[in-house]
């Protein structure tokens, strides 16, 4: 069966000491289910220290929030997938809408990033999602289909199985407006059907598809009870240990 996952995307928040404290609080919380994989995605600067803290915990893993699209070279200020792997991180978030919006991550760049991540045996958490215009025009499913097809469907079946998908409607990210469980389940079901058509049922059944966009301790239970929602990619609510832990216990 596919894995239940809750991933906390800290974005550009928390100093190193604040981040270590947050991880300590999460680790010392009671009642966290070992069935749920907890992924923490801190800034690059914190990866090694946090990876060290969780290394003996099989139900925890670390993710980077991005990586460069070339394996190495003269790219001042950038961080490669191989460098990320060397910290002990196991996942990399690729295609977050904030990167697409502010950092110029085009389809072509995203394909290169995916290839870099897979080449060093890391697992991509690949984000897709429609804009409010696409949702209002009722073209959101076509937009989602295009995003998956253009960026993921060049992958071999073996590589595709390393992907975690995060459905994050852009209008729900950081806005406090969450997709209803009906809306989210509809898109998750659609994504799984598209994967089934391309890679077959065994692979589509095994793909974890997370919901992201104003998911919090209050609405996680309803979202996670949907048949095709396997967990969440959490931004704002991952910055408080009690909220994050409560979300991890919402299955």
Binding site for ligand PGA (CB under 6 A): 9, 168, 173-174, 212-215, 233-237
Between residues 98 and 199, which has the closer beta carbon with respect to ligand PGA?
A: 98
3-state per-residue secondary structure call for 89-153: CCEEEECCHHHHHHCCCCHHHHHHHHHHHHHCCCEEEEEECCCHHHHHCCCHHHHHHHHHHHHCC
Known catalytic residue: 168? yes
Nearest by Cα to 64 from 126, 4, 21, 9:
9
Nearer to ligand PGA, 95 or 236 (CB): 236
Minimum Å distance from CB 166 to ligand PGA?
7
Sequence-ordered alpha helix ranges (H) in 29-70: 47-54
Task: Rank residues 111 and 213 by Cβ distance to ligand PGA and give the closer one.
Answer: 213
CB of 131 to ligand PGA, least distance (A): 14
98 is catalytic: no
Beta-bridge mates of residue 9: 41
Shortest CB 173 distance to ligand PGA, Å: 4
> In the complex, what is the shortest distance from the CB of residue 102 to ligand PGA, in angstroms, rounded to a whole number?
12
Smaller CB distance to ligand PGA: residue 213 or 231? 213
> What Rg value do the Cα atoms of the chain yield, rounded?
17
Q: Which residue is nearest to ligand PGA (CB)?
A: 235
Catalytic residue among 69, 96, 140, 188: 96
Q: Among the options 134, 168, 188, 194, which is catalytic? A: 168
Annotated active-site positions, please? 96, 168
């Amino acid at each position: 069966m596919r894995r239940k996952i809750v991933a906390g995307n800290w974005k550009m928040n928390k100093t190193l000491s604040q981040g270590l404290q947050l991880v300590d609080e999460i680790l010392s919380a009671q009642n966290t289910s070992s069935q749920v994989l907890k992924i923490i995605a801190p800034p690059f600067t914190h990866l090694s220290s946090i990876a060290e803290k969780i290394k003996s915990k099989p139900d925890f893993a670390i993710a980077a929030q991005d990586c460069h699209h070339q394996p190495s070279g003269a790219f001042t200020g950038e961080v490669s997938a191989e460098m990320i792997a060397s910290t002990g991180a196991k996942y990399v978030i690729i295609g977050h809408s904030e990167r697409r919006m502010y950092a110029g991550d085009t389809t072509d760049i995203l394909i290169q990033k995916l290839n870099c991540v897979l080449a060093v045996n890391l697992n991509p958490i690949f984000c897709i999602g429609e804009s409010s215009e696409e949702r209002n025009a009722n073209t959101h499913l076509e937009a989602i289909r295009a995003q998956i097809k253009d960026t993921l469907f060049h992958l071999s079946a073996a590589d595709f199985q390393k992907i975690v998908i995060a459905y994050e409607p852009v209008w729900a990210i950081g806005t406090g407006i969450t997709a209803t469980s009906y809306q989210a389940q509809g898109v998750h079901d659609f994504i799984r059907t598209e994967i089934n058509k391309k890679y077959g049922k065994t692979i589509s059944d095994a793909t974890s598809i997370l919901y992201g966009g104003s998911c919090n301790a209050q609405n996680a239970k309803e979202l996670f009870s949907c048949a095709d929602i396997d967990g969440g990619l959490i931004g704002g609510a991952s910055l408080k240990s009690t909220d994050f832990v409560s979300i991890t216990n919402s299955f």
